[in-house]
Structure 1
Amino acid sequence: MDAVITSFAKRSEENKRRDLERPTQEEAEAAVRTLLLWAGDDPDREGLLETPARVAKAYQEMFAGYGMDPDEVLGRTFEEVAGYDDIVLVKDIAFHSHCEHHMVPIIGKAHVAYLPDGRVLGLSKIARVVDIYAQRLQTQEAMTAQIAGAIDDALQPRGVAVMIEAEHMCMAMRGIRKQGSTTLTTTFTGAFLDDVQEQGRFMSMLRGSGAA
C-alpha cells in the first residue's frame, strides 16, 4: 500500500509541474535584467547585453528534466537475460544539479544498482533517469529517493540501491564556505533494505571501485 501511495503522489507532483504556466522568453530575460541590476551591474553595458538571452537558454538546458518523464524513459525493459538475477550496478554516473534553496550547483556522482526479477533495463536508461532528476531544482536527499522510486516503479525488481556523493556549492561558495566537503546519501528498497548482506555487497562493490 505504501508503494501505491508513493507512486500516486509522484504522479500528482509531475502533473502539477506540467500544469504550471511558464513565463515567456521575454519575461524570463526581463527577470535576468532585474537580477543584474539588483547585483549592482548595468545590464545595458556591452558585456551584459546578451546575458539575459544566454541565461534563459542556459536554464532551458540545465532544467530540462522538468520536460522529461522518467516513466517513459524506463518504459522499455528486456526479458532475455539468460537467467541472470544478480546485482546490476551502474557506478560513477556524473551529474550536475542545482540546490533548490540557493539555485547554485550540486556536482557529484550517482551509483545505482538493482536486483532483477526476470527483467532488466538498458544501462543507458539508468544514467538518463539520473539526469532527469538532476536537471531540476533539488535536494540531494530527494533526488536519491526519486531515482530509486522511479526504477522500483518501472522495473519492479527485487530491490534497488542508490548512493549519491556530491559537493554542494551552497556550502563552498557562500555561508560556511567549506570547499571539498562531500555529502553521501543512500536509498534502499526491497532486498537491499531487508537484507544487510545485500547492502554489504553493494557497498563492497563501490569500495572496490574507489567510489565510497
Structure 2
Amino acid sequence: MEKTTIQINKYADRFLIGNVNFKFASDKAYADMARRTLRIDVGSELRSNLKSEATRVLKECIENLKNMKAISQCSFQSWHKESCNKLIDCYKPYLFYYGQSQKWLNMLLKYLYVYDVEEYQCLFSQKLIEVMDMPIDFKVIKNFHNQYNIKWPNSGWSKWNENTYRSYQESIRKALIQDKTLTEDEKIPFYWELIHWSDLD
C-alpha cells in the first residue's frame, strides 16, 4: 500500500492539504514574512515583479540545496546565508532585511516538508532535518525567553541582521540539546517547532 504523507513526514499531519507545488509553498511562506513586515512603497505591478523574481531565485537556491553532495551544519549555514543574501539582492534598492529573507526561506522549507511537495521529497533526509534552522516568530521568541531565559533580541525578527539571526539560532539549539526532559526529536529545532508551535501562547 502506498504511504500517506503522515507516514512519510513526521509531525506534518496538521498541514495536510494535498497536491501542493513550489509556488504555493513559496507564496504561503511569503505571506508569513510579508504580512506585517514588508513596507515597500511601490505599485502593485512592481511589487509583483519583485516577488516573482525572488521566487525564481528561491527555487534555484532550493535546487542547489537538493544537489549538495555533503550536508553538515557548516555547509547548511553557508547555503542559508548565501540564499538569504540573494533574496536581499532581489529587492535592491528597497529596504529588505536579513530577518525578512530568513523568514521567507525557513517557512518555505517548512512548507515544502509538511505539504510533501513531490519534487522535493528527496530533499529532507534526516541529516538535513537535524541541521536545519527553526522558523522564528514572536511566539517562539516569547517561549524560549520564558522557558530557557534566552535574551529578547533588541529588535523584532523581521529587522534582524545576519549575526543576530545566527546567534539566536545557536542559542535555541544549545537550549534544546541541554534540556534532559525532551525527546530526541524535540532536541532537533526543526522538529521542535513542528511539534510545539500550535501549543504556544
TM-score (norm 2): 0.30
Larger RCO: Structure 1 or Structure 2 (Cα < 8 Å, ≥ 6 residues apart)?
A: 2
Higher Cα Rg: structure 1 or 2?
1
Which structure has greater helix proportion? 2
TM-score (norm 1): 0.29
Which structure has greater strand proportion? 1
